[in-house]
Amino acid sequence: MIVVQKYGGSSVATTEKIAAVAKRVAERAKEACVVVVVSAMGDTTDELISMARQLSSMPEDREMDKLLATGEQASSALLAMAMHDLGIRAVSLTGGQAGIITERTAGRARILKIDVKRLREELNKQNVVVVAGFQGITENASWADITTLGRGGSDTTAVALAAALKADSCEIFTDVDGVYTADPRIEADARKLDTISYEEMLEMAGQGARVMHSRAVELGELYDVDILVANSTKDVPGTVIKKEDDEMEVRNPVRGIAHDTDVTRITVAGVPDQPGIASRLFATLAHSNINVDVIVQNVGTEGLADVSFTVQDADLEKAKKAIGPVTSEIEAREVVVDQNVAKVSIVGSGIRSNPGYAEKMFTAFAAAEINILSITTSEIRITCLIARNQVKNAVRALHRAFELEKA
Ligand code: ASP
Ligand code: MG
């Protein structure tokens, strides 16, 4: 039996915590071949980034990747040492040594393939294999460079290794107990879910639930890897992200409430109501690599319309710069920025096949006197943009309206 476990940065933040993880892994290693993926200790990655910025205004991609990869290399070596002290055979490997081949794209390289030869050999030698997360290597042997997979990428490393090794279990350990029906810090009655489907998890993550790296969930779906998310310090069951369960869909169509306060609404007012305008506006945003969400255009009057969309707070300045030339070319009347907004969403695969969810959501908002600024939907999600200071009320109102506190 092969088990892939991953421990996040907060679970290996200190040497004491690494020692505790070593004990947990040792327990698991009694009954299975274990591959452990680790993140960098605590805030190491942020600290490395900050050091790079202190020394260089534009650190080169190649050096940045090499620098950031060291965080996970340190934690993996330390965990292997802690295992040795418990009398467990263990070996630590970098992503490259573990056979993880990626494209060259700096900072967010995608995995191209995994050559599991070395991993299998080490497992055959009865070693626990500790792999540095969040990194790989480019293909060309003599010119190979170290790459990183993007922030939070150790989750992706773990799921990719589980897929490549056809592991029996993929376990992501973190500082929360699993995936909840809503943020437990906001909704005291939030309930931990036993299971959630890949697509529901992706929608929850995309709308602000920060439990797992989206790319890891996508990979799990692609290779049909069941992913357990659980607490690294407790012995309580977590949440399994897996293929849709039909029966469950019928019983509980709304699985969770996601919220995201990290949004800014930009309105380009008074743009010509004619073909090609939206395309020019959003093309410049796409070229600047800015993700846009909740797009609304009102019905034009006298040949003019208003176009609104949301971006992440961090992208605001970049977005304003990107649309500047276009808005002056098309002689838009003004650009209005509103940071007092937030998104609140209901997510559930049952939404697809059952009418009435939008109505129930809007009624709950009306009863709580929450004004809806705009609405977007996917097949399995309805998202409303509301005032940021009403987020907590909104989450609680929806949690109650959809009776999510009941199992
Ligand atoms: N250490 C990296 C980060 O903080 C990768 C990870 O933790 O998964 O983003
Ligand atoms: Mg981290």
Dump pLDDT digits (tens) for 21-50: 999 999 999 999 999 999 999 999 999 999
Say if residues 92 and 38 touch (Cβ distance below 8 Å): no
Please indicate, yes or no, if residue 31 is contained in any of the structural domains: yes
Cα separation, 172 vs 88, whole angstroms: 21
* Single-letter code of the amino acid located at 13: A
Residue 247: the pLDDT is 62
Band the pLDDT of 248: cuts 50, 70, 90: low
pLDDT digits (tens, 9 = 90+) for 83-134: 999 999 999 999 999 999 999 887 889 999 999 999 999 999 999 999 999 9
Contacts 24+ apart (CB under 8 A), 181-184: 181/255, 181/256, 181/257, 181/399, 181/404, 181/405, 182/256, 182/257, 182/258, 182/259, 182/395, 182/398, 182/399, 182/404, 183/209, 183/259, 183/395
pLDDT for 295 beyond 80:
yes
39, 73, 108, best to mutate for ligand 1 pocket (most atoms within 8 Å of CB): 39
- Let me know if residue 239 belongs to a domain: no
Q: Answer whether 153 contacts ligand 1 (Cβ < 6 A).
A: yes
Rounded distance between C-alpha atoms, residue 263 and residue 252, angstroms: 29
The string of pLDDT tens digits covering residues 154-187 is: 999 999 999 999 999 999 999 999 999 999 999 9
326 part of a folded domain: no
Query: In angstroms, what CA-CA distances link 38 with 28, 70, 204, 293?
Result: 16, 12, 24, 33
More confident residue, 208 or 22: 22
Ligand showing the shortest atom-to-Cα distance for residue 37: 1
Neighbours of 233 (CB within 10 A): 14
Residues near ion ligand 2 (CB < 5 Å) are 9, 39
Q: Across residues 125-150, what is the average pLDDT?
A: 93
Residue 2 predicted with pLDDT over 70: yes
147 domain-assigned? yes
291 φ, ψ (degrees, to nearest 5): -75, 130
More confident residue, 24 or 293: 24
Give the CA angle between residues 259, 263, 268 to the nearest 5°: 135
Number of independent structural domains in the chain: 1
> From CA 381, how far away is CA 193, in angstroms rounded?
18
20 belongs to a structural domain: yes
How many residues belong to the chain? 407
Cβ of 95 closer than 6 Å to ligand 1, yes or no, is no
Cα 274 to ligand 2 centroid, rounded to whole Å: 46
What pLDDT is attached to residue 206? 84
Average pLDDT for residues 303-327, to the nearest whole number? 93
Q: Is 154 in the pocket of ligand 1 (CB under 6 A)?
A: yes
Answer whether residue 252 shows pLDDT above 90.
no
Pair 34, 168: CB distance under 8 Å: no
CA dist list (Å): 375 to 30, 178, 252, 265: 52, 28, 23, 13
The pTM of the full predicted model, rounded to 2 decimals, is: 0.90
In a domain, 27, yes or no: yes
In a domain, 166, yes or no: yes
Cα 8-11-15 angle, rounded to 5 deg: 125
CATH assignment at residue 139: 3.40.1160.10
Tell me how far the alpha carbon of residue 132 lies from the centroid of ligand 2, in angstroms. Answer: 12
Would you say 272 and 367 are in contact if contact means Cβ atoms under 8 Å apart? no
3-state secondary structure of 127: coil
Task: Indicate if the pLDDT at residue 280 is higher than 70.
Answer: yes
Q: Which of 5, 11, 100, 154 to mutate to test the pocket of ligand 1 (most atoms within 8 A of CB)?
A: 154
Determine which helix (DSSP H) or strand (DSSP E) holds 268, and give its type and residue range: strand 256-272
Instruction: Tell me, using a 6 A CB cutoff, whether residue 178 lines ligand 1.
Output: no
Domain hosting residue 43, numbered range: 2-175
Q: Is 157 in the pocket of ligand 1 (CB under 6 A)?
A: no
Q: Which atom of ligand 1 is nearest to the CA of 153?
A: 8
| End-to-end alpha carbon distance in the chain | 33
Is the beta carbon of 7 within 6 A of some atom in ligand 1? Answer: no
pLDDT of residue 352: 85
Nearest-CA residue for atom 5 of ligand 1 = 152
**Looking at residue 15, what is its pLDDT?**
98
Whole-number Å distance, alpha carbon 273 to ligand 1 midpoint, is: 45
- Name the residue of 134, 157, 159 to mutate for ligand 1: max ligand atoms within 8 A of Cβ: 134
Q: Is 22 exposed, middle or buried (0-12, 13-18, 19+ CB in 10 A)?
A: buried
Q: Name the residue type at position 359.
A: E
Kindly give the distance from the C-alpha atom of residue 124 to the centroid of ligand 2, in angstroms, as a whole number: 30
pLDDT over 90 for what percent of the chain? 82
In a domain, 259, yes or no: no
Instruction: Quote the pLDDT of residue 244.
Output: 84
**What pLDDT score was predicted for residue 407?**
62
pLDDT of 60: 92
